[in-house]
Amino acid sequence: MKKFDMKIIIVSALITTIVGCGSGGGSSETTVIKESAVTCFGENLYQVGEYDIEYKYKSDTRNGFTRTYVEVSQLEDKIGSNQFEMRETYPGVFASVTDTVLIWPGAGWVELKGRVVIKNDAPQISKYKFDTVDPLIVGWFSLREGEHKSISTSYDLQTYSPDLSESIKNESENFEQKVTFVGFKNINIKGVDYNTCQITDEQIYNEGTITSQVFYQTNTGLPLKKITLSKRNDGKTDKKEETLISYQFNGTELLN
């Protein structure tokens, strides 16, 4: 698996607020703050346990299914947040990814602290170190409809031999991201209508850009549909559309 394929594609969910106010003197004026959607943040999807996730996908080159196993373990509590380790494995494919993340439900974001990628086809181990002044925030949950948030940062990528005894390569990766909460949208999957938050996530790396649209189900935060367009600086492009068909937690199906 190429490094570009393992980039972070995590998008936002957002907080809902409607405020009305009136004035005296026989007249009234109402101020409505555009809606956001805290229900589209799937905080329950970070429970300690095992997740089995399956998507049906189609791309420019082929169609098929992807399956991911995610193991979540609690590391420690932080002030105002919970720190978790999330290990994703891809059966019969290329790699496993272990992320250390901070979940800040009150402040409304997910902070990525570190990532280790084990590539089965090398084999080699890649470590992402996020030693930046500003933390690498991978989810924004306080945006309202039409609002966006942009960040620009960098992080270190270190590649090691399989036994971690030798550092093969060290390099710095630049990263820019713009996340937009487009609004609420109803989508239909297999004859079932779902209300979702449509989130657009534009990311720029050293090697190219990734633009994704994700439709998160309200009340659960399940990523029901993902459309991703990747453009490399060498001119190669790929468009992939993924539709969620199963999301199980400890053997219980969460997709209704």
Structure tokens at 105: 């439900």
Q: Bigger pLDDT: 31 or 140?
A: 140
CA 171 to chain centre: 24
In percent, how much of the chain has pLDDT > 70?
A: 71
Cα separation of 39 and 33, whole Å? 17
Task: Of 190, 222, 197, 94, give the one whose Cα is nearest residue 141.
Answer: 197
Q: Which amino acid does the sequence have at 242?
A: E
pTM: 0.78
Hey, how many other C-beta atoms are within 10 angstroms of the C-beta on 140? 25
Identify the band that residue 55 occupies on the pLDDT scale cut at 50, 70 and 90.
Answer: very high
Q: Residue 93: what pLDDT?
A: 54
Helix (H) or strand (E) run with residue 25 in it: none
Cα separation of 133 and 210, whole Å? 24
Hey, how many other C-beta atoms are within 10 angstroms of the C-beta on 28? 10
Q: Bigger pLDDT: 135 or 210?
A: 210
CA 94 to chain centre: 20
Q: Give mean pLDDT, residues 72-78.
A: 84
Sorted by where each starts, the structural domains of the chain and their CATH numbers stand as 3-253 (2.40.360)
pLDDT (tens digit per residue) in 98-146: 888 888 766 567 777 778 777 665 566 777 666 554 555 656 667 788 8
Mean pLDDT, the chain, integer = 77
Q: Bigger pLDDT: 37 or 23?
A: 37
Q: Residue 22: what pLDDT?
A: 30
